[in-house]
Amino acid sequence: MERFREYLDATFPEINYKLKQIELGPGGGAKIEARIIGSDPTVLRGIASQVMDIMYADPGAYNIRHDWRERTKVLEPIFNESQARRYGITKSDVDDVLMMSFSGKSVGLYRDGTTLMPIVARLPDAERVDIRNIEGMMIWSPALSEFIPFQQVTQGYDTRWEDPIIVRKNRKRMLTIMADPDLLGEETAATLQKRLQPQIEP
């Protein structure tokens, strides 16, 4: 594990990994957890960043991470309602076209004995790998009985960052920062916690 850790740190410094010994009995989670509860995800992430900086500054803390992961970028088309109404197109029509074009839309079920498998319609790989393909997409207009350019019913796009995972406890948002003592060292979780807790709690 020591050689593997050195290899990962040297070769893949940007990845998040955790080394773990086989445990008998209940396991999972981390030896040390700091839980932050609040209503604003941005504030929670800001506090989590401060807590992680404290943990990273301690040479005995390893496997530092939190359970909300990284934010993901979302490209959201701005729906032009008045223009779409002229073509007989609804917001759900636009959503269906985007879903089918990129992630895939379930259009039915295939029965194989007792197993039900979804039938998913989506564009070929070559056409859905690049978001720029959205500029050439077409959408069916019931009013004109023909396909029209997708851009006729949108007013550009908004780019925003979204939390893919939000963990809650008692219906309140909770972000948990986790750390472990060095698996290959002699220090226990209790001594590491004793060092970190007075710095984190303020």
Where in the chain are all domains bearing CATH 3.30.2090.10?
72-162
Q: Report the pLDDT value the prediction gives residue 97, as an integer from 0 to 100.
A: 87
Q: Report the pLDDT value the prediction gives residue 104, as an integer from 0 to 100.
A: 86
pTM, entire model:
0.68
Distance CA 50, CA 96 (A): 41
Give the pairing of strands 168-169 and 154-162.
unpaired
* DSSP state, residue 134: G
Q: Report the pLDDT value the prediction gives residue 23, as an integer from 0 to 100.
A: 73
Neighbours of 183 (CB within 10 A): 15
Distance CA 173, CA 36 (A): 8
CATH of 72-162, one of 3.30.70.20, 3.30.2090.10, 3.40.50.1100, 3.90.1150.10: 3.30.2090.10
User: What is the chain's pLDDT, residue by residue, as a tens digit (202 residues)?
Assistant: 999 999 999 999 988 888 887 777 666 678 899 999 999 999 999 999 999 999 999 999 999 999 998 899 888 889 999 999 999 999 999 988 888 888 888 889 999 989 999 999 888 887 776 777 777 888 999 999 999 998 899 888 888 899 989 999 999 999 999 999 988 888 899 999 999 999 999 9
Q: By three-state DSSP, how is residue 136 classified?
A: helix
Where in the chain are all domains bearing CATH 3.30.70.1440?
23-71+165-200
Return the CATH superfamily for domain 23-71+165-200: Multidrug efflux transporter AcrB pore domain (3.30.70.1440)
